[in-house]
Structure 1
Amino acid sequence: LLPIPVLDGGHLVFLGIEAVRGKPLSDQAVIWAQKVGIALLGSLMIFVFYNDIARLVRQWLAA
């Protein structure tokens, strides 16, 4: 489980923080963390897509 807020691991992190603090996080903090998590996942997907395309182009040019 990755501790990225959008994923299940992120929800576990939020539950852990709430358990330590004794009160829930503010809605604003949760929304901000969700946006950061989405940005991280989007960036990772773009990076992986770019690497796959670059590898295919290099193989095509080498052939």
Structure 2
Amino acid sequence: MEKTCTSCSTPLEFIGSEQFRVGGTTGGWKLLFGEWAELGEGMIELAVWTCPKCRKVEFYLPEK
């Protein structure tokens, strides 16, 4: 199925999949606990698509 830009309806171009960090803590907790504050972090893989016309970037869950 072809994906189209949600802003200008131009067909999107697939540029690859990337791993993104999710969860964990921020702010003062990171200062107090350092690397221990990152124990709650996880990784999520997202497919990255771009619009060649308006340069918007859209993320989707990868197809299985």
Q: Which has a greater percent of strand?
A: 2
State the TM-score, normalizing by the size of structure 2: 0.22
Which structure has more relative contact order (CA 8 Å, sep 6+)? It is: 2
Bigger proportion of residues as helix:
1
TM score, norm. by length of structure 1: 0.22
Structure with max Cα Rg: 1
